Structures are given as C-alpha cells and as structure tokens.
Chains A and B, each alone.
Chain A
C-alpha cells in the first residue's frame, strides 16, 4: 500500500537491503524491512491468488466481492495479488493476515462465499472446513486448532526453492522480491565474479538443463564463453507447448523477477548483452506479468546499460511463441526468433558456437535459469547437497489428469514417483484404481504401477526408457484406454511434426493410421482383418525404430515413445482391441457393444425411432432389444435413453 512503490522505499530497498544486507543491519532497518515484507502489518492484508488458475476458477469475481465487502463494512485493508501456491485444484484461494495473527488461507473462496469467510475471520470465528491452513511465523500468533499449510501432505514432501515465493509474494511488485532477498545474487555476481568464475560455480553445482535434455549447464555456458564474438545471445525458453504441462506458467506468474535475475546472471556468465524470453502466446496473464516485471527491473537499473555500475549491459526482449510444438527444440526456437519457420537445423554447429543471427547463443529452459540466483547466493556446495548423484537440486512438476489434487509442485530429485502420485497428489480422484503415470509430455512414456518406486532423476528415468522431460505428470486411472491415449499422442505429434524429416512426417502419420485401424469398428469381422491389424502392431515397433533412428530433432526421436512404452507395459490391452474387439475402459466408441437392460426399459420407443440402422426392435410399452449384427455402435440410443436402460460392454 503506502509503504511500497515510493521513491524512499526504493532507495531503502536497493541501498540497504539489496546492496549491503549483511553489513548495515540495525533495528530501525529490520523494523522497516518487516513492514515491507509484511511480517508486521498495521491493517489487515488480504491476498488473492490471481494466477491463470485462480482467474479461471473465478478469482476476478472474488476480488470484486472482497472490495465490495470492505467498502460496505468500511474496513481498511490492503489487497495483494499473488500467484498460485501450487494447489490449483483448490482455487480460488483467499488469504487473510490480521495484525499480529498468522496468515490464514481459505480454499474455494468463490464470490458467494467471500462474505461469510471474511465475517468469520474478522470475528475470529473460523470454520475448519473452509480453511486450507495457516502459515507459521515466529512473530505471529497462531489461530487455534487450525492446520498449517506447509504440514499438509501436498506440501510436506515438497522442497520449495524456485517456488518458495510463489503464492506468497506479489509478482507485480519488484519491492516485494527485493525485500525477500531478490537481486542480491545479481549484485554480488556482477561486482565480485568474472564470467569464468560464474561458469565454474554453475559447473561445480552440477546443475543440468531442465528442458529435458539434461546437458550440464555450466559446460554449455563455458562453450559459449569460450567462443569469441562481438555479440552473444541468451534465450530463455518458456515455450511450454507440451499439452498437459504448465510449470513454466507457474514460475512466471509466481515469481517473475527470479527469472529476470537468473537471465541477467546467466547473460553475464556467457558475456551476452541481449537476451530473449520466448513465452508461449496462450499464457496471456504470464505475458502481462512478465512485461510489468521487466519494466520494473529496467526502472530499478537491474536490466539495461551499466548494471550496478559494473559496465555490464543487458537488454531483455520478450517474444511470444506462435504456437508450434517443435519450437521447444533450440534450433527451431532460434529460427522462430529470426522470423523464419520453426524448423530444426542439424547440429553441429551447436547454437553455443553459431546460433541466433549467426552468433553464439545459449538456450536455457526457464527453470534452469530460475535456479541460478539461489546457486549464486548459497554456493555450489549447497546445491550439490540437494538431490541425488547425477541429478542435483529440485525439479518442478505439474500434476494433471485424474489426480485428487492437481497443480504444480517442486520436489527434491530422488523423491520416488509413488510419493508424488500417492502422497502429494493424493492418488486418483474418486477412489478409482491407479493405472499408470504419463511422464514427460506427448513424447514421454507411460509408467505402469510397478515402476512407480523409481526415484526421479535423469539417469533413473533414462533406464526406464523415459526422460525427465519438461516435468508434466499425467495421472491415469482405470477409466483410461492406453490405445486411445497412444492414438491421441500420435495425432498430436503428427500434426506438430514440422515436416522436415520424412520418417517423422510420414512415420507418425502411418503410426496414427495403424492405431486408428485398431480402434475402429471392423467392416467385416473376418480373420483376415484381424491378421491385418495384428501385422499393424508388429509394424508399429519397426516403424518406431526407423523414426527414432533417422529423425533430426527431439520431437521425431521421441515421437514413438508413448506407443512403445504402452505396447511394452500394456500389450494385453492392444491384444484385446485387436482380437476381442473390446475396449475395457469404454473409451474407444467404435468398439462398444450396446445392450438394453430389460428391467429398466419401459418401451418408450425413442431409441427405436432414433436408431439410424434400424437395429432396435420391440413394441411400445414392452422392453426393446438391440440386434447386434446391425448395430454400428454409434451410441445415439445410449445418449437418448432417459431411463438409463442402455449400457455397453
């Protein structure tokens, strides 16, 4: 409110907190910092999660309701917009911090519930079922009998480093970030370290690229640093086009300044004076937040000419991705920034030697870059102490699909997948049986239940034929048909193949056709057709090998993964589709056989009239029957029956 965004405050934060945190720190300063950090508040503070997930769940209306409530009751309170804490399925989240009391969080705070919630909190009468939990703070008095947010199963197993500010501080305020320790690493780095030293520190930390490839970041940087050129570029890849993944969105919307600080340090390390952030255009809210953050960073002199009087210049440009999955590949991304079609190029030369506009370029995933400020702050030894051998640090995952809690999480490398699925995500929704976990997006793999004790890491997942990928986890329950899912992924990859390499362009189409053949209703069920389908599956495997061996980029090389992994672990499901012509999950519509429940059918005649094949017989007011040989499985009768008398097997 009044305390933030004033020139005096800016000076206090930059001079006292950012530049000389450890040396000048007396009581007056720490009191003032407590006010800025909202450790101590004078008026009530209301926090509303207005990330994309919050807005979709109705946070905009919640905000209006809160404002109306405050006006009606003549209350003076500060409203702060925060990002998402990760528990997207509980949005909209509304937190209230009364003076002297702990910050308390309410879930599902839709507009109609706002009045009741705020009444309760201002009268100190909380209803436990509305409360998500409270945040423990040494200077605050706890609410009695209320759980702590960070002790909930969803948070207890997490190790939040990159996301530690997400949902806590305002992504719209650079002051908030500085007060929570931001931009200190940048200051320390540009004044105390040479570029070589930064590359060395990052190399020692054993940080590996979080974009899926897992190449050691420090080595990649050293390569670009060692290449002589008058101009170098850094590209931050936030073009998260994997369907089912939204971690990059979470990082930007929760803590955009961490990304900017990471970019600035990395650009300093490789000697780049221009950096690009390539963000997916669908993330409208992220783009707005990022643009605001960048203009604030420019205003404070963290980006621009002569940063902290060190002589280091950096200009950051934001680019919107135009919706091409293949642009996640670094050479395609570079082509896209150059204004060309996003088609991958063969390597070498690597972008680190000859990339954007022919100059040395480093492309790093946004999560890799968001790790950099903490590594510079705490040293490489600290980072190495987190995680397991060959996979250091933490990893952010997004959880979607049939999970109880969907959202995004940050865990220490080495946590097992079952911990993520069962303990953090709370297993499957509605007590359905867990069938598999889809890992790493459309070119990732499906892991069966027996493999879920694998610790998360680059090498452990590679041993299972998967890769860490971007970090999208999709939880599949018993209602999922693996053949249908494979078909879905092949449809997606076939559509997104850029068309440069023929094996990928034509091979993915052929694989999709084979899968369509399996899930289609047979024209005539002769044994000959069954044999053809079976041959198709054999062909799938050899096709997959050709595509994998002969494609240029990661999209093609990994394209067969979903099919191969589900064939490996769920072969019986393919066989069931081919030989028995059945889809146990009932997802493949063409393979359904419909029956009429004689007890429930009252002979209303509607289905008989609607059936396009005249496959239903029966007289009015008497139970009807379906002639199986005539039925094409269109499902019209199923949809139109008002008595739920029609079922399928």
Chain B
C-alpha cells in the first residue's frame, strides 16, 4: 500500500517546486483527493519533501476543516449545516441520519459502508436543506424524502 502511495505522491510532488512552503496546502489537497484521507506516512513524506517538520505539517492540516485523517465510507453522506439549512430544520435530519445509519456525525461505520459528515455550508442555500451523498445532491429534503434517501442507500449497500 505504502509503495503504491509513494508513487502517487511522487507524481504529485514533481509538479511543485521543492522547499516552497506555500505549496503545502495544494499538495495536501491533491494527496487527499487521490488517497481519500491523509495518513501519518503521507504527512511525513510531504514534510520530508518540503523540508518541514512533520508536526508543522500536521498542525496545518489539522487547522483546516477540509483535511481528514480517517477514511470515508463507501457512501459519504454530507449534511449541510448552513444558516438556510438550519432554518429548514437540518438538525432534526441529523438525528434521523445518525439513528438510521447507526453512526455519529464525523465518523465512518465499521464496515466502511457509510460515513456522515457535517458541512458548514455547501453554498447551495437556495436548495436548503441539502444532503449530499458522494456526488449527488438532494435538494429541498423533507422528512419523507429523507426516509426515501436512506432506504435507497441501504438497498444499494445490501
């Protein structure tokens, strides 16, 4: 696994000039896009290339909401918690999602089928409340629609 990642990492790192600390965020973003999340090894490797201590790299990565240190589930459910979605009752959907998928917000289920994430705002406030599953957006979610969404999600994984 690590050997494979190293190759991918090399491909990414070649495109950035060495020792430029300002490349850190774009590199981490690309690495996360390829691998899905950041592992300790990847962070160490990025630090080595940029000549930065690993704790510095980790402190930057931990500061930003975008970076994840745990893998996603097969179906990554994102619930928008923006102001417009909040007004349309997204909090009550959180409870329902947690109950139905049997996991807490910000975690991945043990069988790696689902993961649930709260997002500050997806910038789709006109369609509030919004739930995103992998790349598909579900606008104007109602309690009935949510039941349907969860049902079809469960059907897909079984």
User: Residues of A with Cβ closer than 8 Å to B?
Assistant: 52-53, 55-57, 88-89, 91, 240-246, 249, 280-283, 319-320, 322-325, 336-342, 357, 398, 400-402, 406-407, 438, 441-442, 472, 474, 476, 480, 485, 488-489, 492, 496, 498
A341 touches B59 (CB 8 A): yes
- Which of A52, A337, A339 is close to B60, meaning CB atoms less than 8 Å apart? A339
B122 contact set on A, CB distance < 8 A: 282
Does B139 touch A at the CB level, under 8 Å? yes
CB distance from B74 to the nearest CB of A (A): 20
B124 contact set on A, CB distance < 8 A: 52-53, 56, 246
Question: Apart from A53-B124, A400-B128, what 13 extra A-B contacts exist at CB < 8 Å?
Answer: A56-B137, A88-B127, A240-B123, A241-B120, A242-B121, A243-B81, A246-B126, A281-B29, A281-B66, A320-B26, A322-B66, A357-B22, A401-B128
Question: In this complex, what residue of A is CB-closest to B89?
Answer: A587
Give residues of chain B (103-158) contacting chain A, Cβ–Cβ below 8 Å. Answer: 119-128, 130, 137, 139
Does B63 touch A at the CB level, under 8 Å? yes
Does B64 touch A at the CB level, under 8 Å? yes
Question: In this complex, what residue of A is CB-closest to B23?
Answer: A339
Return the 8 tightest CB-CB contacts between A and B, nearest first: A244-B83, A322-B64, A88-B126, A339-B24, A243-B121, A243-B82, A400-B125, A323-B65
CB distance from A108 to the nearest CB of B (A): 12
Q: Mark B17-29, 1 if CB is under 8 A from A, else 0.
A: 0000111111011
Does B67 touch A at the CB level, under 8 Å? yes
B82 contact set on A, CB distance < 8 A: 243-244
- Which of A322, A337, A339 is close to B67, meaning CB atoms less than 8 Å apart? A322
How many A-B pairs fall under 8 Å by CB? 124
Does B86 touch A at the CB level, under 8 Å? yes
- Which of A91, A243, A342, A492 is close to B63, meaning CB atoms less than 8 Å apart? A342
Can you give 29 A-B contacts (C-beta < 8 A)?
A53-B124, A57-B127, A57-B139, A91-B126, A240-B123, A241-B120, A243-B121, A244-B84, A244-B125, A245-B125, A246-B123, A283-B123, A322-B28, A322-B67, A324-B65, A325-B120, A338-B21, A338-B22, A339-B25, A342-B63, A400-B84, A400-B125, A400-B128, A401-B128, A406-B126, A442-B83, A474-B83, A488-B83, A489-B83
User: Residues of B with Cβ closer than 8 Å to A?
Assistant: 21-26, 28-29, 59-60, 63-67, 81-84, 86-87, 119-128, 130, 137, 139
B128 touches A323 (CB 8 A): no
- Bound-state Cα–Cα, A438 to B23, Å: 38
B125 touches A246 (CB 8 A): yes
A474 contact set on B, CB distance < 8 A: 83-84, 87
CB distance from B141 to the nearest CB of A (A): 12
Question: In this complex, what residue of B is CB-closest to A84?
Answer: B126
B26 contact set on A, CB distance < 8 A: 319-320
- Bound-state Cα–Cα, A245 to B126, Å: 10
A281 contact set on B, CB distance < 8 A: 29, 66
Q: Contacts A281-B29, A340-B60, A492-B120: A401 and B127 contacting too (C-beta < 8 A)? A: no
B21 touches A280 (CB 8 A): no
- Which of A89, A319, A498 is close to B25, meaning CB atoms less than 8 Å apart? A319
- Bound-state Cα–Cα, A357 to B20, Å: 11
- Bound-state Cα–Cα, A165 to B123, Å: 21
- Bound-state Cα–Cα, A630 to B70, Å: 42
- Bound-state Cα–Cα, A398 to B82, Å: 14
A52 contact set on B, CB distance < 8 A: 123-124
B81 touches A324 (CB 8 A): no
A401 touches B25 (CB 8 A): no
- Bound-state Cα–Cα, A282 to B121, Å: 8
B123 touches A323 (CB 8 A): no
A89 contact set on B, CB distance < 8 A: 126
- Bound-state Cα–Cα, A401 to B127, Å: 10
B127 touches A476 (CB 8 A): no
Question: In this complex, what residue of B is CB-closest to A635?
Answer: B92
| B23, B59, B84 — most chain A CB neighbours (10 Å) | B84
- Bound-state Cα–Cα, A341 to B24, Å: 11
B137 contact set on A, CB distance < 8 A: 55-56
